[in-house]
């Protein structure tokens, strides 16, 4: 190395090594990286041949990435729902919905969940409308009838209004805490065909 190259290299190295005495500011990760929501579809719940039909009474939960970057980590997709009769809290149902209930399975790749910023993951769940002890929720209120549907003439019985209390816990990632929502109150009328 000639003298002129050495003369340029020494000041450059000195400048490089002493140019910045300040450290970078700490990374400011958000405390909350997912937002959760939950709803129960209301309306008249129809029961035909001991099976619940239609959307009323189903659950919908979502987890949304609130972080400004893509979230990608080991999944633990869970929507745990506890339901009880408002007039008799001992009459309960405990439900667990998992990745099998995810509306957008393309966000799951093996055990990895990937969510873009502001991208929601929806979890949908249907259930039997029975307590953990197998009693129908409509069996705790008065039922009247028979009635007949217009046109088709199908015979059915109709319950008085049933009010249920619901709490939900949603989780998407193993290393991100679950979010608890509720309690919420939902009221239904059951039609038993």
The answer to whether the peptide bond before residue 146 is cis (omega within 30 degrees of 0) is yes
Max CA-CA distance within the chain? Answer: 107
Report the pLDDT value the prediction gives residue 15, as an integer from 0 to 100.
Answer: 47
**pTM summary value:** 0.81
Mean pLDDT over 149-167 rounds to 95
Residues of the chain with pLDDT > 90, as a percent, come to 78
Mean pLDDT over 101-115 rounds to 96
pLDDT tens per residue, range 12-62: 445 444 555 566 555 545 567 899 999 999 999 999 999 999 899 999 999
Query: Does residue 167 surpass a pLDDT of 90?
Result: yes
Tell me the fold of 31-192.
Answer: Immunoglobulin-like (2.60.40)
- The answer for residues whose C-beta is within 8 angstroms of residue 65's C-beta and 6 or more apart is 33, 34, 71, 115, 116, 117, 118, 119, 120
DSSP 4: H
Give ∠ CA 157-158-160 in degrees, rounded to 5. 145
């Amino acid at each position: 190395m000639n003298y002129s190259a050495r003369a340029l290299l020494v000041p450059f190295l000195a400048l490089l090594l002493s140019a910045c005495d300040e450290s970078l500011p700490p990374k400011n990760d958000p405390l909350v990286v997912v937002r959760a929501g939950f709803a129960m579809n209301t309306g008249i719940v129809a029961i035909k041949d001991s099976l619940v039909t239609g959307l009323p009474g189903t659950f919908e939960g979502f987890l949304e990435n609130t972080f400004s970057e893509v979230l990608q980590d080991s999944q633990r997709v869970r929507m745990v729902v506890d339901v009880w009769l408002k007039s008799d809290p001992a009459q309960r149902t405990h439900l667990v919905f998992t990745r099998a209930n995810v509306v957008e399975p393309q966000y799951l790749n093996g055990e990895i969940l990937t969510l873009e910023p502001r991208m929601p993951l929806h979890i949908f769940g249907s259930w039997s409308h029975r307590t953990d002890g197998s009693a129908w929720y409509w069996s705790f209120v008065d039922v009247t009838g028979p009635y007949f549907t217009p046109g088709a003439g199908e015979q059915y019985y109709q319950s008085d209004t049933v009010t249920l209390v619901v709490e939900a816990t949603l989780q998407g990632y193993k290393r991100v805490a679950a979010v608890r929502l509720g309690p919420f109150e939902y009221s239904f009328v059951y039609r038993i065909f």
